[in-house]
Amino acid sequence: MRIYEEDKKIIIAEGNKRLIIEAWGPDSVRVRQSAEPKMDENDWALSEVMPQVEVDITSEEIDVTDPWYKGEEYKKYHQTATEYKLVNGKLTVKISHEGWLSFYNQKGELLTEEYWRNRNRLNRYCVPLRVDARELKPVVGGTDYELYARFEAFDDEKIYGMGQYQEKSLDKKGSILELCHRNSQASVPFYISSRGYGFFWNNPAVGTVAFGKNKTEWHVRSTKKLDYFITAGDTPAELLEHYSLATGRTPMMPEYGLGYWQCKLRYRTQDELLAVAREHKRRGLPLDAIVIDFFHWTLQGDFKFEPLDWPDPDAMVKELRELGIEPVVSVWPTIDDRSENFWEMADKGYLVNADRGNGLHMTWMGNTVFYDATNPGAQKFVWERCKENYYKKGIRCFWLDEAEPEYGPYDFDNYRYFAGPALQCTNTYPVGYAKGFYDGLKAEGETEILSLVRCAWAGSQKYGVLTWSGDIYSSFRSMREQLQAGLNMGLAGIPWWTSDIGGFLGGNIADKDFQELLVRWFAWGAFCPVFRMHGERSPWHEREEEFRNGVRQITSGQDNEVWSFGEENYEILTKYLFIRERLKPYIRECMKEASNTGAPVMRPLFYDFPADDICWSIEDAYMFGPDLLVAPVMTKGATERSIYLPAGATWTDANTKKVYEGGQLVVVPAPLDIIPVMIRDGKEFEIY
């Protein structure tokens, strides 16, 4: 094994293996290893041009003589070796003479280090387990590798980020996470550690990560290389700023994104949708966007309005714009085998291939195949169809559904993309899906681009994605899970996030328990990055016709407008519509911060108060921007809420106007019409 410096990089070479350690922006490094002479050239999410930084690389000769040798034997067998150190601002990487890595901050404090259990680490102890920190194990008969990367575990460490998982815990320490996407699951493998570093696993392969008590272990079944990014900083905000610089920052949120979005499963006709929009305006209620959901089309993959139900989209869009409402249209990546585009896309290689079976990926409402969003040609083809049939009619905001994509079943080893086998790269699918529409809209001169998507990976944010948390259940448990999901998405670099208010699956609008859930969720939604109503709302309407021209038709759920849940609830819901309106100037500033620095709009308390140790353990409240602490009511029948107020600030209850000193737990009233909101340091807000 040789360790040497080359072009301000540290190289570890052993046979055909190469490990490269190099500065990657301020206070950060990128680590790559290949088991082949030529490094795989995919940069994946680390594709931004990074600023040049000053790097200091030094080496030191150390004594590595076995301590068992004494006297003359010591002189006879005396050995030395070289250790290297790379310093980039606040991050120092130490490379031992045996090639293992450890990472320190500018104070000399250990942040993390690789897990080795097979060598004589500086003669401190010998471990015969033969467990390496890095393993690229060839897959027999192929050109790919199974990869393991292991790091030491620390008892005091808390881990946040990693994207969106449907579970209860904000802190991911002790969790095993699947590195792949599913409906309501988005793997975005960047985390912030309470020890003062951020770590990004720059690998879109299917796998798992285990944040265990004994070690942290990353594992993927099929890949070409090891690739990760690590950054140091004094605050979580600094870590997010470094990471978003490396993977890209979100653009500025369009103005219509700041207000209220109306959505349901589903407005079946143009007249039905316009009636709801007109009624909102007749009642004097704010409404900024309205969504035309799925199966408004002729066939999946045609990307066009069904003319019987949507006879004049141009006039519809014109009227909505005159009302000050942005129309949003659902697009699915599924191509029906009867679609007018199917055979052309198949001939051009624009569809995802299956290695076995009949080649169909989904059979719900038709026999369909996903288009290959990793293929630039396929991206352009789909955009051109949507441009012709939607954009030219005035549609500029798209709902990119099924963005995981939602294979049935999720047999990733069966699918193959333009970018490679799905096992190696499927997690980039939602990035390419969003990029195709972003590039298309930008080419048409659009400067305010937003796409509502059901999944994201690292780098998605720079293509204007608003991620929502998928087809979740209507329950208080699900609501609690969405809070940690939204916070962890923001910490993983995806600042535009929303959930289906009230949940998607279930939710009978006549049920009193559901109405209570909806009201609590709606109030919380007013303090989320995007405020959007949606849900299937059981029971579904009966089908008026099963098939039309041989195409199966889908029906709709119950009404889902603010006036659909009873007069008392209507009064509460409309109150929060106007609260959101009054918050728009503040939210606009939060969105500017997200675009400029990568700061999440909603974030855990420790983001703004990292010096308060208690804040690192609070999982049921959050900061909405820098000045508002929000404590959603997520328990059935609750009438009050206990809230921890971070130290170092004073807090005013927006409802009671009572002022509290930080650093204490308080109990505040929380009747059905109130979501507790605490205002920081006497800032001026008109909420209640």
Length of the chain: 688
- How far is the first Cα of the chain from the last one, in angstroms, to the nearest whole number? 67
Give CA–CA dist 637/631, Å, rounded. 16
Q: Cβ(535)–Cβ(265) under 8 Å?
A: yes
Give CA–CA dist 516/524, Å, rounded. 13
- The residues, ordered by sequence, that sit 6+ positions from 41 with a Cβ below 8 Å of its Cβ are none
For 597, the enclosing helix (H) or strand (E) is helix 567-597
In single-letter form, the type of residue at position 281 comes to K
| 14-19 long-range Cβ contacts below 8 angstroms, 24+ apart | 14/99, 17/136, 19/99, 19/134, 19/226
Task: Tell me the DSSP string of 191-212.
Answer: EEETTSEEEEE---SSEEEEE-
Q: Cβ(438)–Cβ(464) under 8 Å?
A: yes
Residue among 440, 376, 364 nearest 405 (CA): 364
Give CA–CA dist 186/458, Å, rounded. 10
Joined together, the tokens standing for residue 294 give 């799925």
CA angle 535, 339, 330 (to 5 degrees): 25
**Active site residue ranges:** 401, 404, 471
Neighbours of 61 (CB within 10 A): 10
How far from the centroid of its chain's Cα atoms is residue 68's Cα?
A: 53
Buried b (16+ CB within 10 A) or exposed e, 433-447: bbbbbbbbbeeeebe
- Measured between alpha carbons, how far is residue 619 from residues 168, 238, 482, 608 in Å? 9, 21, 12, 14
Residue among 231, 255, 170 nearest 598 (CA): 231
Give CA–CA dist 215/153, Å, rounded. 4
* Pairing state between β 650-653 and 622-624: unpaired
Give CA–CA dist 505/167, Å, rounded. 17
Q: Cβ(683)–Cβ(632) under 8 Å?
A: no
Give CA–CA dist 221/321, Å, rounded. 49
Handedness of CA 253, 254, 260, 263 (dihedral sign): negative
- Measured between alpha carbons, how far is residue 474 from residues 380, 399, 481, 511, 535 in Å? 37, 21, 11, 12, 9
Residue among 608, 623, 612, 604 nearest 238 (CA): 608
Alpha-carbon Rg for the chain, nearest whole angstrom, is 27
The torsion of the CA quartet 90, 608, 576, 677, rounded to 10 degrees, works out to 170
Residue among 367, 399, 283, 328 nearest 552 (CA): 367
Give CA–CA dist 247/50, Å, rounded. 10
Joined together, the tokens standing for residue 632 give 């959603």
- Cβ-in-10-Å burial (0-12, 13-18, 19+) of 551 comes to middle
SS3 readout for 23-40: ECCCCEEEEEEECCCCCC
Give SS3 for 660.
strand
Which parts of 216-298 fold into alpha helices (H)? 236-247, 270-282
